[in-house]
């Protein structure tokens, strides 16, 4: 059965929906069976208020830019149709869910969990994988060697796309059939042979090959926090 996931992100006018802050941008990136489908959702929203100065410095979305954008009530049905039934992947999920629930309440809709009962918080996941380290999106991109050079300001769609790559990197190896078309496996035929008096030649690695091997292990260590090869070797 296909697993449909939506990597979701929002930008807001401030930090606290209870103080009247609103969502000004929402974006989603669809992934099915760990494959990005290219089906995105992205809307800028008119919040009906100004952003706090600190928030404006983060996302750069001015009141003037947002003035002709739709209200949340105008796009809510389209958003819910896009995410319904999917497993959500969100970085610092309580923050985004808190804002989405507040917006849904204003338009007399049920809470987000009604439409998407499963949520993965990648911030919580990253803290479990990398305790004591910085686990913001930029830090995770650096750790997993994901190009985030276009991220000069926070933007919901770009951040969702980057988070999709981070999530795949953090969970790499969990699914043994990744890369197979529609879950189908071709039968592998192994030719049989008799060893008899077969003599094998042993070719020792050159200094250049050893150096390249060590460089590759260093890259794996940087991305994963420690390669299995080194642990077995010691």
Neighbours of 165 (CB within 10 A): 19
Residue 99's pLDDT is what? 97
Q: For the chain, which ranges sit under pLDDT 50?
A: 175-193, 195
Report the Cα–Cα distance between both ends of the chain, in Å, rounded: 41
Residue 151's pLDDT is what? 82
Three-state DSSP state, 139: helix
Q: Please say whether the beta carbons of 122 and 170 come within 8 A.
A: yes
H-run or E-run covering 94: helix 93-106
What CATH number does domain 4-170 carry, 2.40.170.20, 3.90.870.20, 3.30.420.10, 3.30.1490.20? 3.30.420.10
- Count the residues in the chain: 234
Residue 50's pLDDT is what? 95
Task: Give the long-range contacts of residues 62-70, CB within 8 A, separation 24 or more.
Answer: 66/24, 69/43, 69/44, 69/45, 70/43, 70/45, 70/46
CATH 3.30.420.10 in the chain is located at 4-170
Cα distances (Å, whole numbers) of residue 199 to 106, 203, 223? 77, 13, 39
- Alpha-carbon 225 to chain mean position: 19
**What predicted TM-score, i.e. pTM, was given to this entire model?**
0.72
Cβ burial, residue 91 (10 Å; 0-12/13-18/19+) = buried
Side-chain-side CA neighbours of 69 within 13 Å: the count stands at 21
Catalytic residue numbers?
A: 154
Residue 196's pLDDT is what? 53
- The C-alpha atoms of residue 226 and residue 224 are separated, in whole angstroms, by 6
pLDDT tens string 147-197: 988 887 788 999 999 999 999 999 986 543 333 334 433 333 444 445 455
Neighbours of 210 (CB within 10 A): 11
Residue 211's pLDDT is what? 77
């Amino acid at each position: 059965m296909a697993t449909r996931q939506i990597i979701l992100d929002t930008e807001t006018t401030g930090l606290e929906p209870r103080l009247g802050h609103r969502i000004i941008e929402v974006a989603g990136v669809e992934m099915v069976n760990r494959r990005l489908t290219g089906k995105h959702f992205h809307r800028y929203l008119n919040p009906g208020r100004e952003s706090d100065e600190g928030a404006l410095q983060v996302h750069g979305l001015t009141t003037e830019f947002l003035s002709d954008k739709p209200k949340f009530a105008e796009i809510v049905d389209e958003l819910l149709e896009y995410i319904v039934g999917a497993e959500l992947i969100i970085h610092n999920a309580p923050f985004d869910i808190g804002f989405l629930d507040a917006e849904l309440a204003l338009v007399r809709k049920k809470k987000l969990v009604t439409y998407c009962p499963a949520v993965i918080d990648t911030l919580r996941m990253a803290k479990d994988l990398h305790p004591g380290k910085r686990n913001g999106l930029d830090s995770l991109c650096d750790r997993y060697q994901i190009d985030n050079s276009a991220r000069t300001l926070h933007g919901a769609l770009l951040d969702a796309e980057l988070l999709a790559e981070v999530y795949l990197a953090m969970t790499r190896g969990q699914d043994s059939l990744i890369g197979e078309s529609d879950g189908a496996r071709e039968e592998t035929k192994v030719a049989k042979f008799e060893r008899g008096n077969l003599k094998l030649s042993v070719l020792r690695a050159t200094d250049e090959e050893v150096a390249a091997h060590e460089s590759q292990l260093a890259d794996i260590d940087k991305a994963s926090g420690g390669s299995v090869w080194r642990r077995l070797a010691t």
